[in-house]
Amino acid sequence: MTATGPAMMPEDWNRALAVVAHPDDLEYGAAGAIARWTRQGKSVVYVLASRGEAGIDSMPPEEAGPLRTKEQLAAARIVGVEEVEFLDHPDGLIENGIPLRRDIAAAVRRRRPELVVTLNHRESFPGGGFNMADHRNVGLATLDAVRDAANRWIFRDLGLEPWSGVRWVAVGGSPVQTHAVDITGTFDLAVASLREHKAYLAALGGVMSEPEPFLRQFASAAGELAGVPLACTFELFPI
């Protein structure tokens, strides 16, 4: 954070891992930054704790999970992400505990990222609104799992070499906005990525079901803080 607003995110890295709870979590804000980074030739892999199977009230989980998985794969491809892992924790009931930390630490050791992106672990979002348990639990577990992944004496049964090369964890949607990414050139890709969640948006209704105006509102506000037309913000934790 500078005296006038958030600092610009560091971009002197090559590999990132994005860890969130559900399909659509990354598309509601961070996808524009991810599109910018993949355009720069950086590698980004998604890890989702669940398949979002409990996210559509009108559709049973047995149908919603496979459909939302398909929509997430399509959304990722729009922003240049070809690899998406699903940890298959239960949507709506994700717990911040050793099993989740173990799964995320394993992904960190396999993928060896320099940057880890996750979603807001705090109780509220910018402007208020209580944050749901899945988001909070995955965000906190990710912060802890990055340290776990670096300790060779934790989760030894994984058979994976420790990875201490994570330099930052970037938390999207945080009310503490320390850093920003200029997404002016990739905002359209962010919108297109969110639009791939067709079934979810149709069931959601309301202002959040209209990708372009919803995302533009927040990107414009973040851009004003950062001094660029459109931006997304993160709370950045140096590791």
Tens-digit pLDDT profile for residues 45-76: 999 999 999 999 999 999 999 999 999 999 99
Residue type, 179: H
* 122: helix, strand or coil: coil
Are 206 and 212 in contact by the 8 Å Cβ rule? The answer is no
Q: Percent of the chain at pLDDT above 90?
A: 93
- Give buried/exposed letters for 73-108 (b at 16+ CB in 10 A, else e): bebbebbbbeebbbbebebbebebeeebbbbbbbbb
Query: Does the structure show a pLDDT above 90 at 2?
Result: no
158 belongs to a structural domain: yes
How many CB atoms are closer than 10 A to CB 227?
14
Confidence of residue 126 (pLDDT cuts 50, 70, 90): confident
The one-letter amino acid at 110: R
Assess if residue 1 is contained within a domain.
Answer: no
Q: Identify whether 60 is part of a domain.
A: yes
Question: Residue 153 pLDDT more than 80?
Answer: yes
Evaluate whether residue 95 is within a structural domain.
Answer: yes
Could you tell me the strand order of the sheet in which 7-8 lies?
7-8, 179-182, 231-238, 168-172, 115-119, 15-20, 43-48, 84-86
CATH code, domain carrying 132: 3.40.50.10320
Of the candidates 117, 100, 95, the residue with the CA atom closest to the CA atom of residue 29: 117
Number of domains in the chain: 1
pLDDT of residue 1: 66
> How would you classify residue 73: left for phi > 0, otherwise alpha for psi between -120 and 50, otherwise beta?
alpha
What's the rounded mean pLDDT across residues 101-111?
Answer: 98
- What average pLDDT score do residues 108-126 get? 97
Asked whether residue 2 is assigned to any structural domain, the reply reads no
Q: Is residue 16 part of a domain?
A: yes
Q: Which range of residues forms the domain containing residue 24?
A: 7-238
Q: What is the pLDDT of residue 3?
A: 58
**Do 6 and 233 form a contact (C-beta atoms < 8 A)?**
yes
How far is the CA of 109 from the CAs of 11, 145, 236, in angstroms?
A: 21, 10, 21
**Tokens 């964890």 identify what position?**
169
Q: What is the pLDDT of residues 88-100, one digit of tens each?
A: 999 999 999 999 9
Gap between the Cα atoms of 10 and 167, Å rounded: 10
18 pLDDT more than 80: yes
**Strand runs labelled E in 135-207:** 168-172, 179-182
The model's confidence at residue 127, banded by pLDDT at 50, 70 and 90, is: confident
CA dist., res. 42 & res. 171, Å (int): 19
Q: What is the rounded CA–CA span in Å between residue 180 and residue 189?
A: 18
Cα angle 99, 123, 33 (rounded to 5 degrees) comes to 80
In a domain, 29, yes or no: yes
Q: Does the residue 181 lie in any domain? A: yes
- Mean per-residue pLDDT, 128-152: 97
State pTM to two decimals. Answer: 0.96
